[in-house]
Amino acid sequence: MVALPEPPMPNIPSEPPIYILIAIVATMATVAEKSLSTQPYRVELIQLSQLSRFADYGGSLLFVPAGRWLTGSFNLTSHFTLFLHRDAVLLASQEESDYEVIEPLPSYGRGRDTDGGRFISLLFGSNLTDVVITGENGTIDGQGEPWWGKFKRGELKYTRPYLIEIMHSDGIQISNLTFLNSPSWHIHPVYSSNIVIQGLTILAPVTVPNTDGINPDSCTNTRIEDCHIVSGDDCIAVKSGWDQYGINYGMPTKQLLIRRLTCISPDSAVIALGSEMSGGIEDVRAEDIVAINSESGIRIKTAIGRGGYVKDVYVRGMTMQTMKYVFWMTGSYGSHPDEHYDPNALPVIQNINYQDMVAENVTMPAQLAGITGDQFTGICISNVTITLSKKPKKVLWNCTDVSGYTSGVTPEPCQLLPEKQPGTVVPCNFPESSIPIDEVKLQRCYSRRRLM
Catalogue the active-site residues: 233
> In degrees to the nearest 10, what's the CA dihedral of 235, 364, 383, 312?
-50
Torsion (CA) 293, 297, 303, 307 in degrees, nearest 10: 140
Please check whether residue 195 is in contact with residue 223, taking contact to mean a CB–CB distance below 8 angstroms: yes
Angle CA(206)–CA(211)–CA(215) in degrees, nearest 5? 130
Residue type (1 letter), 36: L
HEC string of 56-103? HHCCEEEEECCEEEEECCEECCCCEEEEECCCEEEEECCCHHHCCEEC
Angle at 118 between CA 309 and CA 120, to 5 degrees: 105
Q: Which amino acid is at 122?
A: L
Give the integer Cα–Cα distance in Å for 59 and 84: 17
Question: Going by DSSP bridges, is the β-strand pair 164-167/123-126 parallel, antiparallel, or unpaired?
Answer: parallel
Tell me which amino acid residue 375 is: Q
The per-residue DSSP string of 297-319 comes to EEEEE-BTT--SEEEEEEEEEEE
Count, residues in the chain: 452
**CB within 8 A of 323, min separation 6: which ones?**
291, 293, 294, 295, 296, 297, 359, 361, 362, 363
CA distance 22 to 162: 26
Helices and strands counted in the chain (H then E)? 2, 27
CB 253 within 8 A of CB 280: yes
